[in-house]
A and B are shown apart, each in its own frame.
Chain A
Amino acid sequence: MPNILVSDPTLRDGNHAVAHQLTLESIETYAAAADAAHVPIVEVGHGNGLGASSMQVGQSLVPDREMLIAAREKLTQSKLGIHVIPGFATIEKDLRPAIDIGVDVVRVACHCSEADITQRHIAYVRERGKQVFGVLMMSHMLEPTRLAEEALKMETYGAEAIILMDSAGALLPPDVSSRVSALVETLHISVGFHAHNNLGMAIANSLAALESGATIIDGTARGFGAGAGNAQLEVLIAVMHRVGYETGIDLYKMLDAADLAERAIIPVIPTIKSTSIVSGLAGVFSGFAKHVDRVSSKFHVDPRDVFFELGRRGIVAGQEDLIIEVAQALSAGELRIEAEKVEA
C-alpha cells in the first residue's frame, strides 16, 4: 500500500464555518495539536485563502500575516500550507510576504477550467524554492478529460501535485474515480483529492480517490469546513489505516487533536443541513452557505430556491455578490424556481 500525504485545512476551510472569525488562540491551539499528531501539512488562513479577506466573501478577524506567524511558531514537524487564488491574491502584496514568513507549501487554486491564470503564481513559488501544488476547484463542473487538460497545464507551469476539490460536495464515488483516474493517467505528478460532505459522501469519495491512484488527501478535524464540512480527518485516518494505507499520523494523537478542536475551536460541529443538501445537488460552492442563509432571510426568499438558481447560472466560487442579485430577483417575482429542478 502506498504512503498517503495528508493535508489538513482545518484552520483554513474551517474559517468558512465561522465567517472567517478564527482567533489567533484557536490557530495556535490546533496547530500545536496537529503538529504533535504528525499531520504532514497544516493549512492556515482565510477560507478563500491568502488575500481573500473582503466584503465579497467575508473579512477575516485576524490578518493573513498574523495567522501565518502564529501557526509557523507552533509547527515544528508539520509543514505550513496556504491556499492562494489568483484574482484575489497577488504575488507582490500577498504571496511574497507569506513565503517570507516561512510558508512551506503553496496550493495555487482556480476554478477548474481556468488553469492558465495560475501560471505566474506557480512559477513564482518555484522560483522561491517552495513546494507548490495546483488546485482545481469545483471539479464537478468539468468532465474528466477536460479536467486532465487543465491539470496538465498546471504541471507544465511547475506544479508538483494537483489537487481536485469537490468544492460543492456534488460528486458521488464513481464521479471521483473517473476524474482522479483521468489525472493519474495523464500527469507525471501526484494527484490529490479534497472532499465536502454535502451529500454524505466525503469519506467514501476520499476512499474512491485513493483507490483510483490519488496519493494526497485532505481532511479536517470533525469535518470543520465550509457548508456541510469536509472529510472528517480522524475518521479518514482510521479508515485509511484499516485499509492499509500509511499516513505517518499517530491515530491516538489525531483523535486527541480532534477532541481538542471540538472543545476549543469549533463552535458548531458541521452537520448536513437541508440547505447543504440543496447546495450539493445544485453544485454550488459550499462556502456560499452562510451568505445564502443571511441574504435569503433579508429578501424573504427560500434559500433552496437561491441555491438552485445559482447552480442553474453556473456561478463559481468567488461570485458571492450574485447571491444578492438572485435573491432580489426571486423576491421581485422575476424568477420561478420549479420543484422539478430538484430532479435535474
Chain B
Amino acid sequence: MTIAQEKIPVAIIGTGNIGTDLLLKIQRSPYLDCKLFVGRNLNSQGMSRAVALGVPISDRSVEAILETPDAFKIVFDATSARDHLRHWPLLKKLGLKVIDMTPSHIGKMCIPAVNMAECLNAQNVNMVTCGGQASAPIAYVIGKTQKDVEYIEVVSSIASRSAGPATRINLDEYIGTTESAVQEFSGAKSTKAILNLNPAMPCINMQTTVFAKVVNPDMDALKVGIEAMVERIKRYVPGYSLIVGPIIENGRVVIMVKTLGLGDYLPKYAGNLDIINCAAIAMAEAFAGRKISFEEGSDA
C-alpha cells in the first residue's frame, strides 16, 4: 500500500507520433501529470488530442517551458536529434530532468531493464532508439553469458506507416546511436545496426533480430538469460516477446523478438513507438520515486 501522493508535473516537447503517444500514456500513469504539451504547429493532430484531453498547449516549443520552469520536474524531448542539441543547454541550466527521445546520444543511454538504477542520478537520459530498446537488452545478455563476443548485429523491421518524417530523415543517427548502445551494453568488439521499412498492408508488427558471432557459444546460459530478460522487459512493455531462438544458423547465433504496441496513438503494429515510450515512462516514474520492480511476482 502506498500513501496517496502528488503526481509529478512533466512537459513534452514535440507533438509528432512519439510526443502524442507519450501524452496518452502519461494520462494513464498514477505518478505523472502532463502540465504542458508544446511544439511548433497548433494545427497538428497531436495538438488536437492534447486539447481534447484538456492538457495546456503552446506553439512556442521549448521557450514556453523556459517561462515557467518551476512548473515541471521532468521534460520529455520528442523533437529531433538536431533540435535536442539546442534544447539541452537551456533545460540543463534550469536543473530539470530531461528524457531525450531523439537519437542525439547526448545523455546517459538508458535501457530500463538493464540500467535503470544507474540512470537515476543522470540529469539527461537518452532513450537510444526503438530498435535499441528492443535489441540492446538482448545484446547485454549475450555479453554477460558469453566469453568471446566478436560481433553483434541488430536488424529491425517496422511498418512504413509507423515511421514519421523525423524517423525517415534521421536514419543515419538511428544507426549510429543503436550501434553505440549495442556496443556499450554488450562489450562486443564491433556492432552493426540495420533498419528496414516495410509498406505491407495490413501493417507488419515491429520485429527485431539479433545476430552474434561468438567463439564457442554457451547456448544453455544464453537461453536462460534471454528468457529472464524478456520477462523483465515485459514488466514495462507487455507486447514484447521472443519468437525465434536462441539458435545457431550458418555460424550465427540468432534471436528474434517481436514488439506489439498498446495501440494508444498508433495501432498495435507500431511496437517501435511503444517500446521507446514505455521505456521512457518507466524511467520517468523511477525519477518520480516509483521505480518498477523487476522481481518475480512483485508489482512495485
Contacts and interface: CB of A to CB of B under 8 A. Distances in A.
Interface in B145-165: 151, 153, 155, 157, 160, 165
Contacts of B172: 86, 90-92, 120
A56 to B, nearest CB: 5
B199 A114 contact: yes
A117 B171 contact: yes
Contact of B198 (A116, A117, A298, A315): A315
A318 B194 contact: yes
Q: Which of B151, B155, B250 has the most CB of A within 10 A?
A: B155
A294 interface: yes
A188 B131 CA distance: 38
Interface string B194-225: 11111111001001010101000000000000
Most chain A CB within 10 A, of B155, B195, B196, B197, is at B196
B24 interface: no
B197 A111 contact: yes
Contacts of B204: 313-314
Interface residues of A, number: 32
Chain B interface residue number, banded: 20 to 34
B168 interface: yes
Interface string B165-198: 1001101100110000000000000001011111
Interface stretch (A26-34, A213-221, A237-245, A320-328): A320-328
A92 B172 CA distance: 8
A22 B225 CA distance: 38
B256 interface: yes
A55 B153 contact: yes
B69 to A, nearest CB: 35
A295 interface: yes
Contact of B195 (A87, A294, A324): A87
A91 B151 CA distance: 22
B176 A88 contact: no
A104 B240 CA distance: 45
A114 B256 contact: no
A116 B197 CA distance: 11
Contact of A54 (B171, B192, B207, B243): B192
Interface string A90-127: 11110000000000000000010110110110000000
A87 B171 contact: yes
A328 B168 contact: no
Contact of B168 (A56, A116, A294): A116
A56 B153 contact: yes
Contact of B200 (A90, A117, A295, A313): A313
A324 B165 CA distance: 31
B198 A56 contact: no
B256 A87 contact: no
Contacts of A88: 194
A316 interface: yes
A314 B171 contact: no
B299 interface: no
B105 to A, nearest CB: 13
A76 B153 CA distance: 37
B252 interface: yes
B117 interface: no
A296 to B, nearest CB: 12
A319 interface: yes
B94 interface: no
A322 to B, nearest CB: 7
Interface in A72-97: 86-88, 90-93
B180 to A, nearest CB: 12
Given A92-B172, A116-B168, A117-B171, A55 B199 contact: no
A318 B151 CA distance: 19
A55 B196 contact: no
A322 B155 CA distance: 10
A322 B157 contact: yes
Interface in B105-158: 151, 153, 155, 157
Contacts of A91: 172
A314 B199 contact: yes
Contact of A318 (B165, B196, B201): B196
A56 B211 contact: yes
Contacts of A90: 171-172, 175-176
Interface string A201-223: 00000000000000000000000
Interface string A300-341: 000000000000011110110110110010000000000000
A324 B157 CA distance: 14
Contacts of A116: 165, 168-169
Interface in A152-203: none
A203 B199 CA distance: 29
B292 to A, nearest CB: 30
Given A87-B194, A92-B176, A111-B198, 6 more contacts: A54-B194, A55-B211, A295-B249, A314-B200, A316-B199, A324-B256
14 contacts: A55-B153, A55-B213, A86-B172, A87-B175, A87-B194, A90-B176, A113-B160, A117-B168, A119-B168, A314-B204, A319-B157, A321-B256, A324-B209, A324-B247
Interface of A: 54-56, 86-88, 90-93, 111, 113-114, 116-117, 119-120, 141, 294-295, 298, 313-316, 318-319, 321-322, 324-325, 328
Q: Which 7 A-B pairs have the closest CB atoms?
A: A314-B200, A321-B209, A55-B211, A90-B172, A113-B199, A318-B196, A87-B195
